[in-house]
Amino acid sequence: MSGVSIITGGGSGIGAAIAKRLVSRSQPCIIIGRRLNKLEETKNASANPSLIRTVVADVSNLDDHDIIVNSLKEGEKVKALIQNAGVLDPIGSLTKVTPEQWKNHMNINLDGPLFLTQKLIPHLLPRNEEGKGGRILHISSGAAHNPYRGWGAYCTSKAAFHMLYKSLSKELSPKGISVGSVRPGVVDTPMQDLIRDQNDSDFPDVGRFQQLKQSGNLIDPDDVATFIDWLLNETDDVEFSEEEWDIRNVDREKWINYL
């Protein structure tokens, strides 16, 4: 199935790993982010930089969504929209969160993905003779289902993001668009650096995350990228959408050597 993959938050972490994985298999990507230098780092570190287009845009700024849509070539269709951009900070009690901080979490983690999806629906691949069409994948978190002290705004926005996936899946499935969601586990990314730098008064569970790093138990972003590549290409529409995927609950031998 031809088409381009659009990855938000493509300048670092999971988003960058996904982009590099896909272009290594000759799949073109458009990576979205707020910092051109980080996007260019991802592009230049890939096996095939010519297959990556960089777009400087802020998913929380609805005006920037037109920039993303306009980055598509005439007649080009979207094979996959990977909603990866997200924000965790500032970390702290909900009793102290400001209206601006709260809105920032919702704008990036919830509103931006919804309204970008709206813009891109007309550009997603139609269902082909094999029954597959364009796919939308939400990069979720265990925080959508389990509260953490200090992560109240993040947990709330991710819980809503999870329900957005479920609702969009119901609405878009009849149109041939599959919407899925994946929990990648605790991944060795810049977000984890931020978490480990917190003090325990703002985030009482900080020691657990520091120990995960020290013991080498963080998941490699490249493994997550391989899993997502497998998920996008080797599952049928029902498998892809029916339930949220968790990388830790799928037999590693099933996907780790994918192509």
pLDDT along the chain (259 residues), means of 10: 93 98 97 98 98 98 98 97 96 96 98 99 86 92 96 98 98 95 96 93 94 95 98 94 96 92
Contact 119, 68 (CB under 8 A): yes
Catalytic one among 148, 154, 165, 258?
A: 154
258 is catalytic: no
Q: What stretches of 28-122 show up as alpha helix (H) in DSSP?
A: 36-44, 64-70, 99-106, 112-120
Residue ranges making up the domain that contains 207: 4-255
pTM for this model (two decimals)? 0.95
In 3-state terms the chain splits into helix, strand, coil percentages (rounded to 5) of 50, 15, 35
- CATH code for the domain in which residue 96 is found: 3.40.50.720
Where residue 216 falls (left for φ over 0; alpha for ψ -120 to 50; beta otherwise) is left
Query: Quick one: pLDDT at residue 2?
Result: 82
Number of domains in the chain: 1
